[in-house]
Structure 1
Amino acid sequence: MPIRSRRTEGMALLSDAAAKQERWRAQNGSYATIVSDLRRGYGDLSEHGYCKLTVTADNGYTLTASRNGPQANDKKCGNYTLNALGTKGMADGTPGTLKDCWR
């Protein structure tokens, strides 16, 4: 699978995790602070393991899909972020811009 196609997997990982965060909040009154609480079928990895999920939560949350495995070689687009407000971004210190990397 080409690197560009693998980027989509990171975006899908964040969308799925965001939906699970909202479900967790509805049932528990706050956002999940650890990935395992989201009860994803692949744990902290995307479907094919090209990205790894981390979560930071306080008043809201920020999800990060970090490049993993062969995707770590992607020099154009780095790690993706998505927060509780739906704001998409690129993690600090990683290559790429929102315009060039998020589709």
Structure 2
Amino acid sequence: MKFGAIFGVAALTAAAAGPVAADKIPEGFVGCITEDALDEFISAAVNDDMRQMQTLLSAGLCAPIGGREFSMIDRGFITSEIRVYTDSGSVALFTPSEATR
């Protein structure tokens, strides 16, 4: 199931509201609904493939999460699974572990 179908990309990029005791992701990071989508996004970024990055964003597989509040689900060495909070709830996403430090 696509992230966009669950909460809507607009909800993820809107400002978070509510009393959530969580840390914030630094600007410039994305979260993806699967580790494979995150790997593909990172590969596209390394290769400066803007079309593929935009495809992943447009398809709702990845979304910008900079400035969003999050809580840790599973911290990994390279990739972590986090819960990102939106105005309408939350969603579990994969992001580079660097974003959670």
The answer to whether the superposition gives a TM-score over 0.5 is no
Bigger helix fraction: 1
Task: Provide TM-score, normalisation by structure 1.
Answer: 0.26
Please tell me whether Structure 1 or Structure 2 has the larger radius of gyration of its CA atoms: 1
User: Higher relative contact order at CA 8 Å, sep ≥6: structure 1 or structure 2?
Assistant: 2
Task: Provide TM-score, normalisation by structure 2.
Answer: 0.27
